[in-house]
Amino acid sequence: MKKSINILVLLICFSILFNSCNEQKSQFKVGFLFSTMKSKRWGKEKEYFVEKIKESGGLVIVKVAERDELKQYQQALELIDEGIDILVINSVTSITSASIVREAHKKGIKVVAYDMLVKNCDLDFYITFDGEKVGELLGRYMIDKIPHGNYVLLNGDRGDDNAVLFQNGAMKALKPKIDSKDINLIYSGYMEEWSGANSAFYIDKIIECSNVKIDGIISTYDGLTDGIASVLKSRNLTNKIPVTGQDAEIAACNRILNGEQLMTVYKPGKTLAYKCAEVVIHLLKKESIPDLKYINNGRKDVPSLILDPISVDKNNLQSTVVADGFWTMDEITNYKENTN
């Protein structure tokens, strides 16, 4: 009898161990490389992505490079060595990340580019928002409000493919008005590392050196607008020069509510993160993905999902950013600059 009980105990232990090993083996691992966490949107999108992958039985390993190309490359090698099943990358730059794709492919690991195209490589998938449409929304909104006058266009880092797309979209909207002489574009430039300090420096010098009144500033990112807003405040020009932005950062939403910023372009992070998680699962299961477009990255036409951005101003802030749970109205209303 005792012998039978011992055998039964061993069988139960073996069964538990076997099931545990199977569970560990069945849990897929996703590596996610972020360029930075300086923008609050990335922290939220990381949470959304992790949440969705966990629901499907997966594990996400996140690493943040803080805009250091070499660091991101080293982090990629670490994830590959850890035995990830698939890699998602939000690149520091759109070109240098090609080496990461090549290293992943050596181990049979597919790579999904998140919100920035990786160029000149056999990238497996790309998911983002329509960058040219972002620029068009910015340009057209400013034209609707200020159809005649002197404009400044401040864009992000030239090494980021998205910045080029925003520029192209903005110029697509502005060119007819520039050609007709309704709009005079007195300055257009890229800001290294999407830096608010750089945008503050440039806009201060433009205001100081320009011999004409600036009627509108098209900023392609709320972080740049932070710097612009600080200069306008220091020069007592708040509410006197309309300015745009992108990403629905909390400071920008607060400025919109207070009439200090015209609008922002909102890219619903939950939608992007959830869709990316779905793509990862489809790729791992070798399932087809609907609604594909193909974007050429210099080497191949990459299967892509391109989502639509949303123009947000005071009129629809509640029904978009707040309704999505990106920020609460209390957070926006009570935001103070020194809490950033």
- Token pair belonging to 170: 């903005």
* DSSP per position, 76-91: HHHHHHTT-SEEEE--
Residue 22 has pLDDT above 50, yes or no: no
pLDDT in tens, 219-244: 999 999 999 999 999 999 999 999 99
Positive or negative, the CA dihedral 10, 15, 20, 26 is positive
Nearest alpha-carbon partner for 126 in 267, 293, 288: 293
pLDDT in tens, 115-158: 999 999 999 999 999 999 999 999 999 999 999 999 999 999 98
3-state helix, strand, coil in the chain (%, to 5): 50, 20, 35
Structure pTM? 0.86
Domain spans in the chain, listed from the N-terminal domain onward: 2-123+271-307, 131-267+311-339
Instruction: Look up residue 325 and give its DSSP letter.
Output: T
| 131-267+311-339: CATH superfamily | Response regulator (3.40.50.2300)
Q: Give the right CATH number for 2-123+271-307 from 3.40.50.2300, 3.40.930.10, 3.40.1000.10, 3.20.20.70.
A: 3.40.50.2300
